[in-house]
Amino acid sequence: MAYSEKVVDHFNNPRNMGSFKKDDEDVGTGIVGAPECGDVMKLQIKVQDEKIVDAKFKTFGCGSAIASSSLATEWLKGKTIEEAHKIKNTDIVQELNLPPVKIHCSVLAEDAIKAALNDYKKKTDTKESK
């Protein structure tokens, strides 16, 4: 099965590949994996005043997983925390035209977003309680 043009584009020119310092206070990190295929995805957000100012990812897996996380970082940039929570895997499926066998890649990206948001929330919560 051939990858869609958009997947190939993200795969060849991944946006926002890289990482932030995990321990920085304004950074939220999500690391998730897909047990079916063994792909591992790391997604990070940098937050200022409840707004995501930057996002980065590193994904070790198939083209669809890379494209899904690349697209996710693009969408995350400029969004508020609240808006970021609303990104759904089905949006990614639609945008990238993922075939049924690759839907789990988009689920992985959504999980990574949620994990990064949770990590950031945990960080700010502990900071406030100090």
Count of residues in the chain = 130
Residue 8 lies near another protein (rule: CB under 8 A) = no
Query: Nearer to another protein by C-beta: 51 or 58?
Result: 58
Cα separations (Å) of 83 from 29, 51, 53, 79, 127? 17, 9, 13, 6, 23
Is-catalytic flag, 62?
no
Is-catalytic flag, 105?
yes
Range list of β-strands (E), the chain: 27-34, 39-48, 51-60
Find the binder of another protein among 6, 15, 26, 40 (CB under 8 A). 40
Write each residue from 44 to 83 as x if it is in contact with another protein (CB under 8 A), else as -, in one continuous string: --------------x-xx----------------------
Q: Which residues bind another protein (CB under 8 A)?
A: 31-33, 35-40, 42, 58, 60-61
